Amino acid sequence: QKEVEQNSGPLSVPEGAIASLNCTYSDRVSQSFFWYRQYSGKSPELIMSIYSNGDKEDGRFTAQLNKASQYVSLLIRDSQPSDSATYLCAVNRHAGTALIFGKGTTLSVSS
């Protein structure tokens, strides 16, 4: 089992819809969780971090964490064509270890 798993997609949503991206992780003791956005040919850009169970909202983005189910998700409300990118889930076992990334989910928002 891979440490961090994401559905590679593509996930296609119409403009204005909610995009839901999911990620599962295998190490139960993981403490920190991150979502990065990566445009084609560019480096990853941090968009959300979450450390506690529940929801965390930042603008149109909401991260959700369920440690019991080892599941983290990202919701993008009012999706825009500019949100079309690959979204990478990353997990940190604890502060002294490196981030481990999933393969990413490609999101396509059509206008």
Partner 1 sequence: DTGVSQDPRHKITKRGQNVTFRCDPISEHNRLYWYRQTLGQGPEFLTYFQNEAQLEKSRLLSDRFSAERPKGSFSTLEIQRTEQGDSAMYLCASSFSGSLSTEAFFGQGTRLTVV
Under the binding rule (CB under 8 A), the answer on residue 11 touching partner 1 is no
Residue with tokens 């603008």: 59
Which residues 17-46 are close enough to bind partner 1 by CB under 8 A? 31-32, 34, 36, 42-46
Among 35, 72, 102, 107, binds partner 1 (CB under 8 A): 102
Among 2, 75, 87, 73, residue whose Cα is nearest residue 33: 73
In total, the chain counts a number of residues equal to 111
Say how far apart CA 72 and CA 66 lie, in whole Å: 6
Nearer to partner 1, 16 or 52 (CB): 52
Under the binding rule (CB under 8 A), the answer on residue 103 touching partner 1 is yes
